[in-house]
Structure 1
């Protein structure tokens, strides 16, 4: 009877016990909780995150969880507070049966780095079960000749609770002829016995009805009852007597269904389900009246190795980088075997030629001591002493990577996470707890802590503000991981942060200059212009880089779309055909300038063109206006003439050399320069002369100056319309000064004569895309053919 009740309980007890033995360690500081059974779902057992030294961000970032076991998942972790909560009904009797102690070992897993924490939950018994008799009524036949004091064993009550909540006492209803005595057996088992207190007289009373009540020690007390019917029989002088009051039998669990003495098996034995069977045997004679004898039988089932070990994957392996450091935890594995003793001891091994090794999660050794006497024959006994190995802080934290590379888009939201570094420590407990910090360094003469901060518990790095690619392109963060040992050990790693450009800048029009003209640029050209005539050149720059800074030009609107066109890449505005008499004198072009970013940024510039008949050279106008102007204007003209005269000599020599080279090489352009890298290293010695013969306007461009600043540029134009051989050259000392001079000249010269632009020009720019600079170009017109 008792065996049937304990069958299910023993299965769970065996499973948990073997699993418990596998993981048990006597390490100090074991996290342990205690709770009563039958708590409702969602009840809090304890704050596991706090007790394990984990922050609230670790709960999600490190995926704090209770490893799933076979059967029901009794506990989970609250992802918001890190509390261990009840997930399912916990019945202590189903888990641990009649065991005095019921402790569930749990595995708590955290990732990044992968770690295993052991906790224990003690399940306390509550008085939720009443004592129960297996039969509701028992019949006893007692001869009237039975002597006073004879005892008759009764059925025992079963209570699934343990300790003080189990069966504590029995009571018998009031009777003149019978009393109740309790017989104590080895192991604490109590059996009630009915004692005859008075000689029975069948003629006076042939039947006696008694009530046996079993009481437990709970609060409040629970009870169970059984009815006893005593029949008084005529004299039968002798009752059957067993040789022994208790018989102990040992049977292998795989014994066949065949006779075993006078007791035979009627079913399959399973040690893992029921290791012990207990029952009462009653012997009756055939006399009149029938007499009975009683004894107890205890059958102990011995274990055989009939269960294979079961491997449990506590955590699913994550992809492992090929450069993972030695000692990196890949997965957590546990194993259990439902057998007992040596049959349940399991050893793990890996197949050969594997780059992985197995490391026990908990270090504990069982030291076996044998004591032998000197008798003949000698007798001995053995005792196993568990010895746990305490950890020392002999391993520094190791980062998952020697360095980290982070690519971060500019204009991000302040406070957003940039990256999470992680370090693991092969030590245990406090020696393995890692905290993170940022070592002080400078970024553009400012402490790196002004840019980012780090969560000391999980290694997550956050931005302090938004980053601008145009101001900061790359910086480094030096992160330190330190354990909590004494003395503490640490290691460092570098996080390289690259700011990625976003298309957050629209193109800026450098030329035509809109100063004083709003968004309009007025250009003049003769009606005699042919197809391909260079009217002007639109120049724009973009503060972004890469594709985001690639600029294209397009005519968005035009008075006559068939007359003018713009080069998509250079921005040169040229005539698409010869000008006719029917064309309007006033032409208007709206040029759209777009970059190649996503989304596209754009700008526009309006160019107004006047078509004039008999357009003459601007130098003549300068002379006329110089003669007409007085005082200051004449003095300015004189200074300009003297400056240009000094430069003319250099220009003539340059043109002669260039002409000779052009004739020899039959090339459209000639260039005298040092190597690109030499130009970059020696900007003051940089000199580039380029001849452009494309279209009706011939010009030579002379570049020079510091390439890292606003370089000075001189461009000499040779117009076929020029009637004079005079040179006009301006060498600006700065952009602002040059604009002032240009504004003076604009008042007296046609717009087609002067061109002012700022553009990106550098031979080394192809290899150093991050360097951008502006060149100021002055166009000088003269009558020379190359």
Structure 2
């Protein structure tokens, strides 16, 4: 692979201006070569910029200086100066990167642009006022460049040095106390610059400060320091920035004119201009990053007063390098297809990327254009690896088209892309799946046995036999009956069939589990819960509960002729075994042709007198009562009732039956004897109970004392649902013994049961047979 060609990287350092033959490093020894391999493998040295500053002694493998190097000439704009070499060996071919860093020496003095600088300062300037000074320049870099400035002793002036960037220092003259032109009209000071070399080198210029006596407000900029970024090759007329200065004076003394300070060098004035009335700085010449990557511009804002005052600011213009070389990308190895169970971190491909630019423009980053379970990882200087970064699933994606994009960090950046196809091989790792974990279906009762009621469907994203699905019902039971007696399923297509005709009044709901299995080895499966509701249809007619009814659904009622309007004759009660609207019963007279003095409540079934009875009314009325439910289709039952009108006080026949909620106008004598008999029997029972209690009291007391040591309260052992069972609960906890009877009643309305029992003493066998409990 290409990665084997680039084996190592060496880094050496040598001072600038080293003489020919100066020792740099033992290149053969550092590369692990024998002296005999140097000529046998044809070792040679190549410089990327085709210079011959260094050579290798083929006799001893030492890298030495071939000719003297001037760092300031070789790298005038950078702090770190590196010459890149390639050591090439043949048989086999190997390439080694060697970087030789040229160390700066302090061989340049600081230099001022002039031996003297003249400043004019108004005497009214306040202490703390600042005046920019032109600093010195030094061709050296690092610690050998300019590090400090000094000013000769003065009670009026001092220096303030600010470092804004690595290359930029702002030197300002600070006024310490108010000037007095009448006392001292001119100040002469020594301005000295020092570098950081050893020994230190310095340069001195003379500051001649002339004190002026006029205007008392100088223009002031919004900021004393501006930083601006500007693209190289910007067109002529491009706005760099807009400065703003204000003057508190009025008239001409407040009018501001902008101009470059006289200390601004020619390389600035040849490339930039400033509009004197607006303060807009524009590009007027060629801006090239390779020539100058930063400009320091001193700007003055001068008013139009008789003795003009000026405000000052510094503008730092950083030139942004443009990128002009795209990266080059090569795929050196590719391992496909990739199994879907491959481990995360496995290498799929190795990619080589190179960019001929330098700095950020030559720094290349690789990434993948879209979200895939792969990632790019940098391995060696110019090499990247495509590795697995997530779980692969062939059933979701069988092939990935991975677009790898190499982008440098230039502005604007250049990029190149390459498309790599990675196939995924299959393993059996998917079980059949249902769309939902549960389904709810409804089957109407009285369905034909064997009818198709539902179809379940599962899917398997595997292929071949791994995706062949069969269906089955998991064994379970309903009230002890196997679920297979109720429904069945076709194992191939998932169709569910009802094996019997369901009755909502017996079974209203049950559920089952459907299992879907594939044919893989081993087989995989999943379950679906099917909730089956049996929908009610109107298949039960209303059933009359009145105790007066016989097999022919007939009854007789007696009404006194003196009954008033609203008098309750009787109340018809019925039930319907259906549910909902199918069980909602309404009452009404059927085929009512004559003018009868009675009416029936549509919802209550109460028959009442609706007008006073007269001699013209007949002695007997035969009425047919129609009981209808609200189902579709409607079902009904009929009851024939004979109402006989009798005189007040007339004895009623024995067959008459009494309702507990009926209001009679007369209280029969027979009831008095009944009440007297009940009272006598109750008295005898009460006396017997008292005697029995006294006799048993002592025995109970002993039992209670014994039970206090073992308090217990057994719970009910069951419930009464489909049959009439009575459960007892005895709780002994230190008090008198009690027998608590808990009776669970069926779901009849309480009033209906009370009324029925009071008339007949118990439910008729016919009625009990028609009632279902839930």
TM-score, structure 1 normalization: 0.36
TM-score, structure 2 normalization: 0.37
